[in-house]
Structure 1
Amino acid sequence: MAFRGETVTVVEVRQGELRQSVVASGRVRTPLRIEMSAQIAGRVTEVGVREGDAVQPGQTLIRLDEREWEATVNQARAAVVQAESRLRQLQELGLPVAEQALRQAEANAVQATRNYQRVSELVTRGFYSQAQLDDALRAREVADSQLRSNRLQLASQQAGGSESELARSSLEQARAALAVAEARLGYATLRAPVSGTVLTRTVEPGDTVQPARALLTIAPLGETELTVQIDEKNLGLLKLGQLALASADAYPGEHFAAELIYIAPSVDALRGSVEVRLRVPEPPPYLKHEMTVSIDIETARREQTLIVPSEVVRGLDEGHPWVMVVRDGRTQRQAVRLGLRGTGSVEILEGVSQGDTLLPSTDDKPEGRAVRTRAAS
């Protein structure tokens, strides 16, 4: 009986608001990254940005030595001019000359045919010899051959003819070569494709670079995300759309809002965690890529419910929670059903009522002990 009436400190079951959350550390993540690399080999003559610089679309980032490519462009332009001149020559000079030559060949052929007929008649009458007739025949055949040749020459120089098409083909090839040369000249200057921020720079003026080597990494302007690894035991608490409050470790006094937008479909077996991502609709200006942040994801909230300090609940590890309640001056073990679990507090769904007094789990008095209660300060 020595312990009957011993005074104990108790905690009262009360009504109140309870917020359940998952807290973890993560990092600022840029959803997209653009790696800038050269498309041609060359020596770097200028690097116009540094890490952390903001860039605008079309801004010059890197220049390569472009003298060789400028010479190639000039050479290609000269070839285009030459091809254009050749085509124009065919149209303005070659075609009229061929037409005139054809008319002359037609006249010669008519004359040769008439002469052959006249000589043939005179040979029949005995005035000309067979040798003169043979000469007239050869002259007619030569004229006919010349006529056919001039007709082919004219056809080749007309639209759709072989020489005309060859000249046009040469012009198209020269223009294509110029386009390639101008494109390669353009490759000598790397420009920003979008607005963003330079994350990394791995090149300096004077470096010789090769195609496909990453020289700059740019984070485009857009949504900022937070990525965090959550213990898999909390996976059942997470849902898309849940709100969170985050703070950067470098600015612990500043907080900003975030929203859960992604839960990985698989669990990392080595770490026993699942990756989640949160969108930051209004990122503060001090937030930087890869910055460490603390994230508090609100998973549930009760405006009014029965709550007790977490320290009074026992048997959580065994899966059968209970509390030591003081009723009618004696300790009594009472099984309870828990609801939400907040920071330092838990929700009691069944087992106790508002106003009941509970012993902290650090007080190991057995069930049935007579006690006097004193409220915790």
Structure 2
Amino acid sequence: MNHDTGSVSGETVLIEGPTDDGRRRRRLIIVAVVAVLAIVAAAMLLTRSGDPAPSASSAADQAPRVTVIVPGRASVDRAVTATGTLAARREMPVGVAGEGGMVTAVLVEPGQWVRAGQVLATVDRSVQTQTAASLAAQVNVAKADLTLAQAELDRAEQLVGRGFISQADVQRRIATRDAAAARLKVANAAASEQRARNNRLDIRAPAAGLVLTRQVEPGQIISSASGTLFRMAKGGEMEMRAQLAEDDLVKLRPGARVSVTPVGSETKFDGEVWQVSPVIDPQTRQGIARVALRYDPALRPGGFASATIVGGTASVPELPQSAVLSDEKGNYVYIADKDNVVQRRDVRLGTVNDDSVAIASGLDGTEKVVVSAGAFLNPGQKIAPVLGKPGV
């Protein structure tokens, strides 16, 4: 530190250099900064301890605003979805009715319509034809014998009055005539039986309908043990055999409207339930509802189809389609509980319209259901619900 000394009136004076002024200014600046920081810290402490409301308001503002509705309940057609197989409503297996033989011709193909009694296939009848001719000849012999016996009886009746023959002779001729008549009846019966047997050699359609399958070829030897040669659908009528759960089957009645969609097709076919199974499979707890359908080439027996069965009305919640979500576990919706926390609720769908979905089970209509934006929410997330109108 530099000091200058001088003498004024015999006194010594100490003169400070410029370094002391700089130090004083720095001390003043530091003190001022510390004071400002202390004031700011005190202000912040007072604000936090005296007014906590802004932080709570900020947390509330961070919850997403989501539109919800309380759907209530509406009267809608009660619909049940089901799957099943297509089949002929009345399937007719056609086989050998007679003694059989070698097939000489098959006259129809699968997919053809036939009338009742139409010949489907012919069987060789060369031996049977000769037998029929022999029996026809025996009929002619029996007719001749009867004619002769009747003529002799007529002559005897004319002579008995003149006394040329006795009454006993007349009685014998009556017996001869009656025996000849009986033999004629036997011959006619035998000939008719042979004709019937010959007719049964041909394979004929038992009723008008559609040929479904053919399992016989020319040259094949057939008999009563050959089994089914053709399968037919009587009248071409088809049906779907829908498999339904036990609780759905109990509520179903014949006459219910049905919409059937075969697999691989977008065409819907209208039908109606004509029979509800009186028994339930004890293993699957399911039963069969038989749905009558009009013939269409797209309805192939043995194929798979889905169906929507409308049976009566029910009071159920209805939601916009945007409210219903689905994943590998099934269909579900998001609801907001009393604390406005999102919860998942599994549902079973009923009738699906163009703009709404009936909920068959899972909701009672009093819940606050998220209308949309469900894909962006997670269970347990807090939301700010905005109540909308049902149907919006």
* TM superposition score normalised by structure 2: 0.67
Q: Deviations over 1:136-176 (max 9, x none)?
A: xxxxxxxxxxx6xx43222221xxx3212111111111111
Structure 1 pair 180/332, CA: closer, same or farther in 2 (3 Å)? same
Letter in 1 for 2:169: Q
Confirm or deny that 1:63 pairs with 2:78. no
Alignment of 1:242-257 (within 5 A): 242-250=256-264, 252-257=265-270
SS in 2 for 1:331: coil
Unpaired stretches in structure 1, ≥5 consecutive residues = 108-146
Match of 2:139? 80
Match of 1:331? 340
* Residue 234 (structure 1) shift: 3.2
Structure 1 pair 33/208, CA: closer, same or farther in 2 (3 Å)? same
SS in 2 for 1:214: coil
Conservation of the 8 A alpha-carbon contact between 1:73 and 1:182: yes
Confirm or deny that 1:241 pairs with 2:297. no
Tell me how large the CA RMSD over aligned residues is. 4.0
Mapped to 2, the partners of 1:103 and 1:283 lie a distance apart of: 77
SS in 2 for 1:79: helix
Confirm or deny that 1:170 pairs with 2:179. no
Letter in 2 for 1:7: A
Mapped to 2, the partners of 1:6 and 1:20 lie a distance apart of: 42
Match of 1:192? 205
Match of 1:10? 66
Aligned residues: 313
SS in 1 for 2:63: strand
Specify which of 176, 189, 193 is matched with residue 180 of structure 1: 193
Greater relative contact order (Cα < 8 A, sep 6+): 1
Confirm or deny that 1:365 pairs with 2:380. yes
Confirm or deny that 1:50 pairs with 2:109. yes
Structure 1 pair 182/235, CA: closer, same or farther in 2 (3 Å)? closer
Mapped to 1, the partners of 2:350 and 2:124 lie a distance apart of: 65
Structure 1 pair 3/272, CA: closer, same or farther in 2 (3 Å)? farther
Q: Which has the larger radius of gyration?
A: 2
Unpaired stretches in structure 2, ≥5 consecutive residues = 1-55
Match of 1:112? none
Conservation of the 8 A alpha-carbon contact between 1:324 and 1:331: yes
More displaced 10-residue stretch of structure 1: 258-267 or 357-366: 357-366
Structure 1 pair 9/194, CA: closer, same or farther in 2 (3 Å)? farther
Mapped to 2, the partners of 1:97 and 1:241 lie a distance apart of: 76
Mapped to 2, the partners of 1:306 and 1:94 lie a distance apart of: 97
Specify which of 163, 169, 184 is matched with residue 153 of structure 1: 169
Specify which of 244, 266, 277 is matched with residue 290 of structure 2: 277
* TM superposition score normalised by structure 1: 0.69
Match of 2:11? none
Structure 1 pair 8/58, CA: closer, same or farther in 2 (3 Å)? same
Q: Deviations over 1:52-73 (max 9, x none)?
A: 2221223221111111111111
* Residue 255 (structure 1) shift: 1.1
* Residue 305 (structure 1) shift: 6.1
More displaced 10-residue stretch of structure 1: 83-92 or 19-28: 19-28
Match of 2:94? 36
